[in-house]
Amino acid sequence: MKTFARLLGVGALALATLAWMPPAAAQQENMIDTIKSRGKLQVGFASFVPWAMRDKQGQWVGFEIDVSTKLAKDLGVQLELIPTAWDGIIPSLIAKKFDVIIGGMSITPARQEQIDFTTPYSNSGQGVVASTVLASKLKWPDDYNNANITLSCRRGVSGCKTLEEKFPKANLRQFDDDAIAFQEVINGKAHLVISSEPKPTFMMLKNPDKLFKPTPDTVTVSVEGFGLRKGNAVAMTTFNEWIAKNKDWLKQRHTYWFKTQEWAAQVPE
Amino acid sequence: MHDQAASSVSTRPAPRRRRAHWSWIDLVLLFGGAGLLAYLAWQTNTAFAYHWDWSTIWPFIVRYDAASGRWVSNLLVDGLLTTLRLAFWGILLAGIIGTLMGLCRTSQRLFLRMVGTSYVMLIRNIPPVVFVFVFVYFIASQIMPTLAIGDSVAQWSSSAQFWIGILFGTPRLIDNFVLGLICLSVFSGAYVTEIVRAGIESVPRAQIEAGKSLGLSRADVTRFVVLPQAFRNVVPPMAGQFIQLIKDSSLVSLVSIQELTFMAQDVQVSTQRVFEVFVFIAVVYFVICFGLSRVFAALERRYAQAHH
Q: pLDDT tens digits for B102-140?
A: 999 999 899 999 999 999 999 999 999 999 988 888 877
The CATH number covering residue B129 comes to: 1.10.3720.10
Neighbours of B278 (CB within 10 A): 14
For residue B253, which residues of chain A lie inside 8 Å, CB to CB? 85
The correct CATH number of A2-13+32-121+225-266 out of 3.30.70.270, 3.40.190.10, 3.40.50.720, 3.30.750.210 is 3.40.190.10
Report the topology of domain A125-221. Answer: D-Maltodextrin-Binding Protein; domain 2 (3.40.190)
For residue B267, which residues of chain A lie inside 8 Å, CB to CB? 54
Q: Is the dihedral of CA B34, B37, B43, B45 positive or negative?
A: negative
In a mutational test of the B interface, the residue from A51, A54, A65, A82 whose CB has the highest number of chain B CBs within 10 Å is A54
Query: Interface of chain A against chain B, CB under 8 Å?
Result: 4-5, 8-9, 11-13, 15-16, 19-20, 47-49, 53-58, 82-85, 87-88, 91-92, 94-97, 180, 183, 267-269
Percent of chain B past pLDDT 90, that is, above it, reads 49
Secondary structure of residue A85 in the 3-state scheme: coil
Q: pLDDT tens digits for B78-96?
A: 999 999 999 999 999 999 9
**B15 is a domain residue:** no
In a mutational test of the A interface, the residue from B56, B74, B133, B251 whose CB has the highest number of chain A CBs within 10 Å is B133
Q: A16 and B253: CB-CB below 8 Å?
A: no
Indicate if the pLDDT at residue B158 is higher than 80: yes
A159, A164, A165: which is closest to A181 by C-alpha? A159
Q: Which residue segment(s) compose the domain that B208 sits in? A: 64-307
Q: What does the pLDDT read at residue A21?
A: 47
Tell me if A2-13+32-121+225-266 shares its fold with A125-221.
Answer: yes
Domain ranges of chain A: 2-13+32-121+225-266, 125-221
Q: What does the pLDDT read at residue A6?
A: 55
3-class SS string, chain B: CHHHHHHHHHHCCCCCCCCCCCCHHHHHHHHHHHHHHHHHHHHHHHCCCCCCCCCCCHHHCEEEECCCCEEEECHHHHHHHHHHHHHHHHHHHHHHHHHHHHHHHCCCCHHHHHHHHHHHHHHHCCCHHHHHHHHHHHHHHHHHHHHCHHHHHCCCCHHHHHHHHHHHCCHHHHHHHHHHHHHHHHHHHHHHHHHHHHHHHHCCHHHHHHHHHCCCCHHHHHHHHHHHHHHHHCHHHHHHHHHHHHHHHHHHHHHCCCCHHHHHHHHHHHHCCHHHHHHHHHHHHHHHHHHHHHHHHHHHHHHHHHHC
**B36 is a domain residue:** no
Q: What does the pLDDT read at residue B54?
A: 85
Q: pLDDT tens digits for A167-219?
A: 999 999 998 667 778 888 888 889 999 987 888 888 888 788 889 999 888 88
Give residue A63's pLDDT band: very low, low, confident or very high (50, 70, 90): very high
**B204 is a domain residue:** yes
**B244 is a domain residue:** yes
The average pLDDT across A150-170 equals 84
- In this predicted model, which residue has the larger pLDDT, A27 or A106? A106
ipTM: 0.71
Number of domains comprising chain B: 1
